[in-house]
Structure 1
C-alpha cells in the first residue's frame, strides 16, 4: 500500500506542470543501429532505449538525458538482452529483456541496471525454449514483478524482479501473447494476441476476467493507471484501429488510425494516447477522454513509444534513431 501511495503521488505531482502546446517534433537523435523497446524515468528524466545488433556482438541500452535529448551513455549488455525495456522509477532500476535468436544455443535474458550509476547489476537466463521468445514485457512496481509475454511457450511468465526467478505461469490457452500491459492500481494484466483477441487477467486473485474478440491482429497495449482504460493497437484488415477497453475488458471504442499501428503508450496526467503507425511513418494522437484522434504527426519513423509524463515528452524508437515529440 505504501508503494501504491508513492506511485499515485508521483503521478499526481506531474500534473502540476504547465500545459504544453500542440504536439510537435522537438528533436531527432540519430543512432548507429536500429532501436527497439524503450522506457522513461519521469523522476530522473532519463530514457533507456534498447539497441540490439541482431546477431552482432555489441548490444546496448542507450541512456538519453531528457533535458538535452542527447545520448549520454551506452550500457553494454549481453547479446539478446536488448529488446524490451521497463523502468522501476520508484527504485531507480531498469530491466532489459530479450532473446538471442542468432546463436546456436537459444536463450532469453533479463538484465537489471542501476539507474543511479547506469551500470549492469546482474544478468540472468529466463527462457531457453526455442521459438518466438519474448514478445512483450510489463512491470508491477508494487509487487516488483516482471510479466513476460512468452511466445515460445504461449503463456505469460511472472518473474520476481528481486530474485530473477519465475514464480508463476499464466496460461493463455495456447494463444501467443504479444505486447502486454499492466495496471498496478487495479492489479490487472492486459494480454493482446495476434489472432485478434485480448485477455484481461486479475493478478491479485489469479483469475481470468474477460476474453475479448475484436479486430484482426492485436499487437501492443497500454494502460492508463488513472482512468483504468486500456488501448490496444490492432492492424485490422482494411481499417487499422486502436481499441479502447475499460478495466474489465468491455470495448468502449474502436478508433481508426493509420497503417500498421504498433507501439502505443499513454500519459496518465494528460490522458493522451500515442500510437506509432509503422506503415505510414507517422504518429497518431488520441484524446483519452473523448476517444477521438486529435492530431497526426508525419515524419515519425517509429515502432515503439514511451511517454515521459514528468517532462511531457514522447520518445519513439525506430530504424534510424529516436524521435522526440513535445506533448
Structure 2
C-alpha cells in the first residue's frame, strides 16, 4: 500500500462529526521490516543511519547513530533497493525498481516530500554535492534520470548505453561516471556526464566479458577509475583524467567481481577480484597508478568493499562467513570479523562505526571501527508486537513484542518510546494493576511472568510459572496475579510483587484466556482443550464451578450490567452466554467463522465479536440476539475496543493485502471511518487522556497511533489521490484559486491554517506534505476533494 493510502486521513474535508486519523507510527525496538535489509545510508548531519530492503510494507527505518535505537519509520510503500543521502538538501532518496520511482524524504522531519518517476529498472543512485542533484541509473530503459535536489523535480533524462548499473560522482571534476554493463559477453561502456549541463561529455567502449564492472573516484587528485573484465580470465583498470576526459592509464588486474573503493587515508585504490576460486583484493597506488599487492583474503567472491578513513582500513566481504579487515598502511589482513551474508555497507565517520546489512539473516550488524569487534546486532524480523495495555495512572502504553522478548514503554502524552525492556522469550500477554502500579508480562517460551514498575520503567521481578503461560490477569481487590499455563493445564497465582507462588490451581486443558469479575470476586478461565470455562474464587484460589461451552473457547468478556459472561468458541463459530448468578449457559449464538475476540459496549449494551475467519458480529446484550453479522466479511479480525469518548468501536484486522482499522458507531452499527495501520494489526489499547488508540501491528513490528477528536476529519472514500500524481510545490505564498474558503491540514490530519481565495502567506509553515480541504459551498452540498501540496521553505 502506498503512502497516500496510509495517510488517508489527510485526504478529507472538515465535518462536524467525530473524526479519527493516523497520528504517527512507533517502532517496537526492532527493525522488523524490511525483511532482507538490502541497503544502508548514513546521515552525518543528523547522526542517523537508514535501512531499506525487501519488506512487505516498503518501510525505511532510521536509527540513532549513537545509541543504535530506532527513531523513525518511513513508509515508502515498495521495496527499497538503494538509498542515497543528499547532504546539501538534507534529504534521503529511496529507489523503487519495481515501480520505477524514487521517494524523497526530508532528513529532519522524516516526512515524504516527493515521489518522482524515474526510468525502468532503476539500479543505482548517486549525489552531486556541488550542483545539488541526484542521479538514478535505469538499466532497462538505458538512461540516467537527473533530479533537482532543491525543487524535488526531474530535470532531465539522459540516454546512455545498454544496462547502466553503476554510478560515481567526482566532486573535483564535477562529473558523473556511468558504467554500462550488458548481461551478455559484449561491449562495455563508460559514460561521463557534465555535472552542470547534464550533457554527455565523453564515452568509452571496452571489449568486455560477462562479469560486472566497478567505479571509483580519487578524491585527492582529479582522476576516476573504471574496472571491468575482458574475454579472458583477466580484468582491467582504466584511469580517466577528470579535466580532459581522456584515458591516462590501463592496468591489468585479477578476474571479475570488481567492487572498487578509494581510501583517502592511504591514497590507494582497492578492487575485489575472483581469480581461480580464490578471493583477492587488488591494492593500487593512486599516485603512481601501479599495482602494489594482490592480497588473498578469506572470501571466494569478494563482492563488497567499504573504506574506513578514520582508522585507515578497508573492509572486504562476500557471501561467506567473515569480513576481512585490510590495514591501509601495511596492506595486510589484520582481522576477520564473523559477519555472514553481507548485502550492503555504510560507514559512520562521526562514531567510527561500520554498519552491515545481512540480507539472508535479516540482521543489521554494528562494528566498532577501532577495535574491529561487533558492537550490536539488530534482528530485522520477528519483533511481533502482540499485546498492548494502558496505564491511566502513569499515562503510558506498554507493548509486548513476542518475537524478541521485549516490552516497549511509550509515553502517552508525547508518543515517544521511554524504554525497551528485555523480559523473556515469547513475551505474549500483558495486564496492568493499578493497585500495585505494575505491568505484568507472561513470557510464553520462557515459562515465566515478569513485573514492570510503573514509576521506574524497569523489571522488578521475574517468577517461574507452569509450561507456556498464555494469559495474565490481576485481581483488583487483593492485587494478586493470575497466569494461565497453556501446556500445564493450570493457573499460577502470585502476589503483586511476584515474591513467590501463592497457589497452583488445576483447571481444564489448555487454558488460554482469563476474565476478572470484581463484583463476585471471581476469575474466569477459558479452557480451549476441554470446551469449558473454569470459575475460580479469588479469595481461596480454588475452582468453584466448571461451565461447559462450545468447542475451542478462545475469548471471554463480561457484560457488567446484565451480569453475563460471553465466551467465543472458535470451532463452530458461536458465542456462549453464561448467567453469572447461576453459572449456566442461557443461549448459544451463531456469529461467524472462528470468533477470536470480544468487547463490551456499556453505552449501548452490545457485545462485539471479531471473527478471524472474516467479519464482525454485534450482539444485543439485553436480548442476547445477534443484531448484525458479516460486517467487512472479507477481513479477518483480531481485536476490538470500545471508546466511551464518543461511543466508537475500533475493530482491527487484515487480509492478504493490508491491515485495517474499521471504526463503527456504537448506536447505529454503521461504519464511520476506515484507516490503514501497519501489517497484521492484532491488539488495541485506548488512551483516554489524549484520546488516542494504539494499534499493535504484528508483521510490520510497529505501533500505529490513531487520534480521536469530537471535531475532526471525515474521509471521502471517492476522493483518494492517484498514486502516480506528483504533488504541487509551494514556496512562500499559496494561491487559492477558488471562491470558497479552505483549510490547510498536515499529514497527521491536524489543522494548520485557514485559507482564503487568493494569495495566502505560508512562509511560516514548516516544509512538508499538506492538504487543502475546501469548505462546503453551502449546506447540504458535498465538499470538493482535497488537494495535495508540498510546502518548501
Question: TM-score higher than 0.5 here?
Answer: yes
Partner of 2:512: 219
- Per-residue deviation at 1:240? 0.5
Indicate how the Cα distance of structure 1 residues 110 and 244 shifts in structure 2: closer, same or farther if over 3 A, else same: same
- Per-residue deviation at 1:263? 1.7
Indicate how the Cα distance of structure 1 residues 135 and 128 shifts in structure 2: closer, same or farther if over 3 A, else same: closer
Please point out which of 542, 548, 558 is paired with 1:256. Answer: 548
Deviation >6 Å, runs of 4+: none
- Per-residue deviation at 1:141? 1.8
Indicate how the Cα distance of structure 1 residues 166 and 297 shifts in structure 2: closer, same or farther if over 3 A, else same: same
- Per-residue deviation at 1:204? 6.0
Partner of 2:410: 112
Q: Aligned with 2:432: secondary structure?
A: strand
- Per-residue deviation at 1:144? 2.2
Q: Give CA deviations for 1:249-281 in whole Å, capped at 9, x if unaligned.
A: 211111111111112232444432121211222
1:121, 1:316 → 2: CA distance?
32
Please point out which of 485, 494, 498 is paired with 1:193. Answer: 485
Q: Aligned with 2:477: secondary structure?
A: coil
2:398, 2:561 → 1: CA distance?
24
Q: Does 1:176 align with 2:479?
A: no
2:456, 2:552 → 1: CA distance?
37
2:585, 2:433 → 1: CA distance?
29
Q: Does 1:271 align with 2:563?
A: yes
- The TM-score, its normalising length taken from structure 2, stands at 0.29
Q: Does 1:72 align with 2:57?
A: no
User: Where do 1:8-27 residues align within 5 Å?
Assistant: none
Please point out which of 583, 586, 591 is paired with 1:291. Answer: 583
Q: Which has the larger radius of gyration?
A: 2
Please point out which of 367, 371, 391 is paired with 1:88. Answer: 391
Q: Aligned with 1:184: secondary structure?
A: coil
Check whether the contact 2:398–2:407 (CA below 8 A) recurs between aligned residues. Answer: no
Partner of 1:125: 420
Q: Aligned with 2:519: secondary structure?
A: coil
Partner of 1:141: 434
Q: Which runs of 5+ in 1 are unaligned?
A: 1-31, 33-57, 59-69
Q: Aligned with 1:179: secondary structure?
A: strand
2:604, 2:421 → 1: CA distance?
34
Larger strand proportion, structure 1 or 2?
Answer: 2
Q: Give CA deviations for 1:81-117 in whole Å, capped at 9, x if unaligned.
A: 6421223356665433233x3xxxx353324363xx7
1:145, 1:85 → 2: CA distance?
14
2:385, 2:605 → 1: CA distance?
25
Indicate how the Cα distance of structure 1 residues 263 and 121 shifts in structure 2: closer, same or farther if over 3 A, else same: farther
Please point out which of 445, 448, 451 is paired with 1:158. Answer: 451
RMSD over equivalenced CA pairs, Å: 3.0
1:287, 1:151 → 2: CA distance?
32
User: Where do 1:280-319 residues align within 5 Å?
Assistant: 280-300=572-592, 301-309=594-602, 312-319=605-612
Q: Aligned with 1:278: secondary structure?
A: strand
2:459, 2:469 → 1: CA distance?
17
Indicate how the Cα distance of structure 1 residues 91 and 152 shifts in structure 2: closer, same or farther if over 3 A, else same: same
Q: Give CA deviations for 1:39-58 in whole Å, capped at 9, x if unaligned.
A: xxxxxxxxxxxxxxxxxxx9
